[in-house]
Chains A and B, each alone.
Chain A
Amino acid sequence: MRDIKLYTEHLAVGYNGRVLIGDIALSLRQGQIMTLIGPNGAGKSTILKSVIRQLSPLGGAVYLNGRDMAFMSEGEAARRLSVLMTGQIRPELMTCFDVAAAGRYPYTGRLGILSREDREKVSECLELVHAAGLAEQDFTRISDGQRQRVLLARALCQEPEVLVLDEPTSFLDIRHKLELLAILKDMVRRRQLAVLMSLHELDLAQKVSDWAVCVRGDRIDRQGPPEEIFAPEYITDLYGVARGSYSALFGSLELERPPGAPEVFVIGGGGAGIPVYRRLQRQGVPFAAGVLPENDMDFPVAAALAAQVVTEAPFQSIGEAALRRAEAVMGTCRRVLCPLDRFGPMNEKNRLLRELARQAGKLA
């Protein structure tokens, strides 16, 4: 229990006295990343804003290091908890060093003059986020990704035990998203920070979180380790995904399968099928896939996109029965595609299938 940095007890949050989500119980440990996920407008930001006291809680309490935050002075809270918020800021005539140095606020004197030690801490934090080279640049004239890193350095300058981030990766391109989260992970490991954040990107949330919390409009629907939360049925339900599917293994989303009976049969396996499945999906052509052992890497995508998948049990060579089923399905298709060109004892029957297609004149 000692290493619990932040927890909430019957916390109720909302705007203008109206409770949006009640009875929130979160408990964040040292060295842990807790991520709030859920659809837009589900109340992720509302919870975060209530935790960092930008909104007054409508009930219950938030405890920081075991102490009720409602009775904590601004300065005390600021020395233990810092934030990175989603809104963009454009402060006038401030260098990146100035912005990061603002984080020393709880430690400087009455006039806010930086000591030599403060300056060293600021440089160190800029170094940590790989922004040391930006120190003298105008904060408004760097890229969004660089700005987020400088703001993260600012948050670190506060020497917090708990870091709260509201959608830190919005506006960032893929490279900067990964970079920011890698820095964050590193920081958690090295400084044993406790991180509470909200994330848009499900795939990243699945990979970076130690604990996931699903926020759903009026309640915390579920929380747990990512391997429990990121199940396809649950995620599609949480986000109300009606047109498409979610793959838990890869944390990726697939679009809706084209409707109708299969027109094309794809002989795939070992990753050869995926690009073809995707192309057919884009073109809106319903297709069948086969024969795939259920542990083949093509299988999850085929299962998400194909009208029909002919499968074999995992770790088995493709058998007679599967071949006959595939033949039957192939018979209903106009065309056959075979991106597969490597055959061995396990998928010998797929080579046979290709031969049958060639004889029928359907092989493209």
Chain B
Amino acid sequence: MRRSYPLCFALLLAALGGLLVWSVGAGSVYLSPGEILSALLSPPDGGILWGIRLPRVLAAAILGGALSVSGFLLQTFFANPIAGPFVLGISSGAKLIVSLCMVALLSRGVVISSMALILAAFAGSMLSMGFILLLSRRAPQAGMLVVGGVMIGYICSAITDFVVTFADDANIVNLHNWSLGSFSGVSWDNVALMALVVGAGLLLSLLLAKPMGAYQLGEGYARSMGVNIRRFRVELILLSSMLSACVTAFAGPISFVGIAVPHLVKSLFRTAQPLVILPACFLGGGAFCLLCDLIARTAFAPRDMSISSVTALLGAPIVLYLMASRRGGRGGSL
């Protein structure tokens, strides 16, 4: 039976809102909802709320949403529920190029703008994506795709490690933290830029919702119904790479969100209709990443865990479940 979509959206919005308030409040200095409200009503200052918590929390929500949407786009593209930017090595490709740029430029004293970082990450994403596409043409089996992606991820990470070895001591610390994935140290300028890029990405992907729906019946049927397959595939690749590049540029590679969230959202709504699932993925991904960031920050406070450790712990079992249930031949639907 169908679930009520408005109800499901309300549920996601409530989860996102609740986690936003909780995340802003939680930390070494606890802020009650009342304190948060009064701080929000007062003009922006450099305090904990405006200076540190709010940008970090907003970044986690926006980037989490971007990752999930990117994952859903890739799953549609490869017709495979375990495709995602991290598993396919796309995040690692972005990480590699960003590290290269950082090491090369920072050591010369050049400061890199956020936009340039996004572009570098985008270039890296496209690099990995190119390899994945070549591989998927040669070995179309779903399993090979994932194994290939993981291998590409390892290669990129290994080269990144080499590069980091040659970096200045001062940069290594930054680079190391970033390459593990973290939402810390995000500025308001960063938040504005990522909101812009991710917002545009989300809108554009909503415009692709119709051909995505047709594509779920397979390439042949999609073409016969009037989808320009070549253009559609290029658009899908560019969009998913852009979204995941934006995430990697600001927060480093974050694992499994792109697979776990679309799956959870589809199970919640009991549909795979892109027009519904895309915005739901965005909200769900935001909530999921807020939760993971909250755990990363507070579980072993005052020490920060890397966000990827938490997302992997929550997300990887879902991927395993998907792989196991796919084997059964009846699809991963609940």
Cβ contact within 8 Å between A53 and B330? no
Q: How far is the CA of A83 from the CA of B224 in the complex (A)?
A: 7
Taking CB atoms, residues of chain A closer than 8 Å to B218 are: 87, 89, 91
Cβ contact within 8 Å between B206 and A111? yes
Q: How far is the CA of A98 from the CA of B2 in the complex (A)?
A: 12
Q: How far is the CA of A82 from the CA of B81 in the complex (A)?
A: 28
B331 at the interface (CB under 8 A from A): yes
- Among A94, A103, A105, residue most surrounded by chain B Cβ atoms (within 10 Å): A105
Q: Interface extent on A, as a size class?
A: 35 or more
Cβ contact within 8 Å between B216 and A92? yes
- From 267 to 281 in chain B, residues with beta carbon under 8 angstroms from any chain A beta carbon are 270-273, 275
* Known contacts A92-B216, A106-B226, A113-B275, A140 near B206 by CB under 8 Å: no
Q: A102-B225, A140-B330 provided; 10 other pairs, C-beta below 8 A?
A: A53-B223, A54-B224, A74-B223, A92-B331, A93-B333, A98-B271, A102-B213, A105-B225, A111-B207, A111-B275
- Among B224, B272, B333, residue most surrounded by chain A Cβ atoms (within 10 Å): B224
* Known contacts A112-B209, A112-B275, A138 near B333 by CB under 8 Å: yes
Q: How far is the CA of A79 from the CA of B266 in the complex (A)?
A: 31
Q: Mark A278-306, 1 if CB is under 8 A from B, else 0.
A: 00000000000000000000000000000
Q: Across chains A and B, which 7 residue pairs bring their CB atoms closest together, nearest first? A: A112-B210, A78-B226, A105-B225, A75-B226, A74-B226, A93-B272, A83-B224
A247 at the interface (CB under 8 A from B): no
Kindly identify which residue among A52, A92, A93, A110 contacts B224, using a CB–CB cutoff of 8 Å.
Answer: A52
B111 at the interface (CB under 8 A from A): no
- From 291 to 334 in chain B, residues with beta carbon under 8 angstroms from any chain A beta carbon are 330-333
Q: How far is the CA of A73 from the CA of B332 in the complex (A)?
A: 36
* Known contacts A110-B207, A138-B333, A140-B330, A91 near B226 by CB under 8 Å: no
A85 at the interface (CB under 8 A from B): yes
A175 at the interface (CB under 8 A from B): no
- From 205 to 262 in chain B, residues with beta carbon under 8 angstroms from any chain A beta carbon are 206-207, 209-210, 213-214, 216-218, 220-221, 223-228
Taking CB atoms, residues of chain B closer than 8 Å to A85 are: 220-221
A35 at the interface (CB under 8 A from B): no
Cβ contact within 8 Å between B273 and A98? yes
Q: How far is the CA of A74 from the CA of B210 in the complex (A)?
A: 14
Which residues of B approach A to under 8 Å, CB–CB?
Answer: 1-2, 81, 206-207, 209-210, 213-214, 216-218, 220-221, 223-228, 266, 270-273, 275, 330-333
Taking CB atoms, residues of chain B closer than 8 Å to A113 are: 275
A77 at the interface (CB under 8 A from B): yes
Across the two chains, which residue of chain A brings its CB closest to B334? A93
Cβ contact within 8 Å between A91 and B272? yes
A120 at the interface (CB under 8 A from B): no
Kindly identify which residue among B2, B207, B224 contacts A82, using a CB–CB cutoff of 8 Å.
Answer: B224
Taking CB atoms, residues of chain B closer than 8 Å to A75 are: 226
Cβ contact within 8 Å between B272 and A94? yes
* Known contacts A83-B224, A85-B220, A103-B225, A92 near B210 by CB under 8 Å: no
Cβ contact within 8 Å between B266 and A74? no
A169 at the interface (CB under 8 A from B): no
Taking CB atoms, residues of chain B closer than 8 Å to A105 are: 210, 214, 225-227
* Known contacts A92-B331, A113-B275, A54 near B223 by CB under 8 Å: yes
A158 at the interface (CB under 8 A from B): yes
* Known contacts A54-B220, A87-B218, A92-B272, A110 near B225 by CB under 8 Å: no
A136 at the interface (CB under 8 A from B): yes
How far in angstroms is the closest Cβ of chain B from A141?
8
Q: How far is the CA of A134 from the CA of B331 in the complex (A)?
A: 19
Kindly identify which residue among A87, A98, A140 contacts B220, using a CB–CB cutoff of 8 Å.
Answer: A87
Q: How far is the CA of A154 from the CA of B275 in the complex (A)?
A: 20
Taking CB atoms, residues of chain A closer than 8 Å to B209 are: 111-112
Taking CB atoms, residues of chain B closer than 8 Å to A52 are: 224
Q: How far is the CA of A73 from the CA of B223 in the complex (A)?
A: 11
